[in-house]
Chain A
Amino acid sequence: MTANTPKPAAADALASAATRARNELARLVSYIVFGLSAVYCAWRASALPASRWEPLGAGSFPKLVFIVLAVLCLFAAIKSVIDIQRNGGMPEAVYAFGRWLKIRRISFAIYGLLVVYLAVLSTLGFSLATFGFLLIAQLLIAGVTRRTVIQSVIAALVFSFGLNMLFADVFNVFLPRGVLIAF
């Protein structure tokens, strides 16, 4: 071990400080987004006309709620900036943010797949769109091997076409049919 290599405990402390700074940076962004959205919503709510029949009207309650939210976000943001400064500042936080995304790459991939699935559901119909979603999602999680492909195809068939038939024939709940009208 050379003299320049940090000791494990010191390295852990550095990593921990970077993680805390990363978390606080992400939270700070959320406080700013929520705070600004709250100010905008409070302004929109105050533009709602007053009612002739009641003292409060439609806008009072949302205005109150969003003003409270904006104030809470302001407090949280100030506290967050102080915490980031204590834990190494912005450069450490930006570096650690990349790792944060890497850990969640499959989660975001599945979410992206869900968005595409929801977008095409009414066009392709429940059975086809669900088959595609289940197949790709299962392979994304389990990895592509001959065994996982066979298992995933069977599971996707059962929970797409099978589930659609169950809901239509047993519960009388008709899911979007899309191009497959016959199903």
Chain B
Amino acid sequence: MLDAFFQGAHQVFAFDTLLYMLIGSVAGIVAAAIPGFTVTMAIILTLPLTFAMEPLQGISVMLAVYVGGYTGGLISAALLGIPGTPSSVATTFDAFPMARNGEPGRALSLGVWASFFGTIISTLVLIVAAPPLAIVAVRLGPWEYFSLIVFALTIVASLVGNSLIRGLIAGVIGLGLATIGPDPMMGRPRLTFDMDLLSPGLPFLVVLIGIFAISQLLGEVEVHGKKVNHALIPKSIDFKTWEVMREVLGRPVNLIRSSMVGVVIGALPGAGGSIANLLAYDQAKRSSKTPEKFGQGIADGVVASEAGNSATAGGGLIPLISLGIPGSAVDAILMASLMVHGVSVGPRLILDHADLVYGMFIALTVASFMMLVVCVASMRLFLRVTDIPKQFIVPTVMICCVIGAFALNNRVGDLYLLGIIGLVGYILKCLDYPLAPLVLGVILGPIAETNLRRALMSDGDWTVFLTRPISALFLAAAVLSVIFSIRSIWKAHKKDNGQKGAVV
């Protein structure tokens, strides 16, 4: 075992491997910082470049892109209020208000440190608990998955913002949008109204860009009073590297809980960083003594969301290494890169290629350190974005969104969808509808429907959802979550009424 560990370490710490990893880390951060470009796209672009490398060298480079990509989404989320990737949706809730309140450096720094610690914690869990967690993850059937999604949907209650009913409407609109296009089980076209534009369905990324990015950018050029053309974030910038590190470490419960949420969600096939990001944020808000401060730029919100999404990197590797089952699209590409080199991925991977597996553990750790160094060293450069006047940044980011939506499937039709969804998103934003529940609905809708139909296809009895222990556990958690949310909303309402009474 120790031989294999040293062999892996020897390959990862080779000069050329470290150099390629550094380039990969920078590429991942930059790609994910552009709205519309996902970690998956960055990994796909990297894959052909690794064919000529040794298997461990290739996968180390891809892991560097992966870890860098999960952090890169933070940059546009914090500075522009636009999630760079689907896995940084919840990051916008507190990082952007914090940046707007004059602390863009602190917002980025918190996110970077939380991502770093999240990845490190997930790597530790990966090393210790890979086999038992993988066995549990694989035992989950459609009943458990559906119950998990029901639980995840209860997050909507804590993302509703000013109005519960508008939050619920937005969440259900998201579920409805996800039903447009081919039915996920039989491929039958649904709600396409015989339009070619709708026949492939609404790509999730196009919905995300339209709803968040276009609406945010249009909101930036509203004229309240005198016409202004200053930078998006006018205050001075202070990165406060070490002070923020202590601040993140001063929240151990939040950090570990959010990382564990990321690990567990990452280990579940089909779930990923986008769900972990929202779920970790939701759990942090529920456990907080000051939940009303979430959404206004609280450090706990940034730490939870970034630790949650970054921890899925290690979590996703658990079923991949132990059982040869990829937890997400990115893990599937990592698996493909190993298969290209003739490495058979499955339960025997750790027995036949122990050096490779230990090398992956080491590479993941090295990649997270590299991400940290690259971010700390180059953050001042990224922060220059805040100095650029609106006249340049708004149209240019809009063009990046258009390229991102087009590059997804090389389909001009997706651009028309982007235009329509962008307008809907902007109007919803103007009318004070919370946008996060809508995106959550679009993410979770197809998973919920597929698993519900699969469950009922194999056994038409609805009580099975309650008789299977893990499924019943998730449903009980969902019920508790709803009760907790109603109690919180009722308490907030009572507090508001009390304050109004005091004023009168």
Give the B-binding residues of A (Cβ under 8 A).
23, 26-27, 30-31, 34, 38, 41, 44-45, 48, 51, 53-56, 58-59, 61-62, 65-66, 68-69, 72-73, 75-76, 79, 100, 103-108, 110-111, 114-115, 117-118, 121-122, 130, 133-134, 137-138, 141-143, 148, 151-152, 155, 159-160, 163, 167, 171, 173-176
Contacts and interface: CB of A to CB of B under 8 A. Distances in A.
Contact of B399 (A59, A105, A133, A141): A133
Interface in B384-435: 389-392, 394-396, 398-399, 402-403, 406-407, 410, 412, 415-416, 418-419, 422-423, 426-428, 430-433
Nearest to A44: B191
A61 B395 contact: no
B226 interface: no
B contact face: mostly helix, strand, loop, or mixed: helix
Contact of A62 (B191, B398, B412, B415): B191
**From A137, A160, A167, A174, residue with most partner B Cβ within 10 Å:** A137
A107 B183 contact: no
B221 interface: yes
Given A23-B431, A107-B426, 15 more contacts: A27-B432, A30-B433, A34-B169, A54-B456, A55-B460, A61-B452, A72-B169, A79-B165, A103-B222, A107-B222, A121-B402, A141-B221, A175-B403, A175-B406, A176-B406
20 contacts: A27-B431, A30-B433, A48-B188, A58-B183, A61-B453, A65-B175, A69-B172, A69-B173, A69-B176, A72-B169, A104-B222, A105-B223, A106-B221, A107-B222, A110-B221, A118-B402, A134-B399, A143-B227, A151-B391, A176-B412
Contacts of B309: none
Given A61-B449, A73-B169, A171-B45, A142 B431 contact: no
B383 interface: no
B245 interface: no
A118 B418 CA distance: 9
Contact of B166 (A55, A76, A152): A76
Contacts of A44: 191, 193
Contacts of B392: 138, 151, 155
Given A30-B431, A58-B190, A155-B392, A72 B399 contact: no
Q: Which 3 pairs from chain A and chain B are nearest by CB?
A: A142-B391, A137-B395, A62-B179
Given A111-B426, A118-B415, A173-B407, A65 B176 contact: yes
Given A65-B175, A176-B412, A106 B190 contact: no
A155 B391 CA distance: 10
Interface in B7-57: 45
Contacts of A27: 166, 431-432
Given A34-B173, A142-B391, A104 B456 contact: no
A contact face: mostly helix, strand, loop, or mixed: helix
Contacts of A173: 403, 407
A31 B170 CA distance: 11
A25 to B, nearest CB: 10
Interface of B: 45, 165-166, 168-169, 172-173, 175-176, 179, 183, 185-186, 188, 190-191, 193, 214, 217-219, 221-224, 227, 229, 389-392, 394-396, 398-399, 402-403, 406-407, 410, 412, 415-416, 418-419, 422-423, 426-428, 430-433, 445, 448-449, 452-453, 456-457, 460
A17 B250 CA distance: 45
A51 B165 CA distance: 34
Contacts of B394: 110, 137, 141
Contacts of B183: 58
Contacts of B457: 53-55
Contact of A41 (B191, B430, B449, B460): B191
B391 A56 contact: no
A34 B428 CA distance: 11
A114 B432 CA distance: 23
A156 to B, nearest CB: 8
B221 A107 contact: yes
A15 B430 CA distance: 18
Given A53-B457, A55-B460, A121-B415, A76 B169 contact: yes
B456 A76 contact: no
Contact of B179 (A61, A103, A110): A61
Given A56-B456, A142-B391, A66 B427 contact: no
A38 B433 CA distance: 17
Given A121-B412, A163-B399, A58 B452 contact: no
Contact of B419 (A51, A114, A142): A114
B431 A114 contact: no
Contacts of B395: 110, 133-134, 137-138, 141
Nearest to B178: A65
Contacts of B419: 114-115, 118
A53 B168 CA distance: 32
B141 to A, nearest CB: 16
Nearest to A164: B403
**From B165, B214, B224, residue with most partner A Cβ within 10 Å:** B165
A133 B403 CA distance: 14
A66 B177 CA distance: 10
Contacts of B432: 23, 27
Given A118-B416, A121-B412, A141-B391, A26 B431 contact: yes
B221 A76 contact: no
Contacts of A163: 399, 403
Contacts of B179: 45, 61-62, 65
Contacts of B415: 118, 121
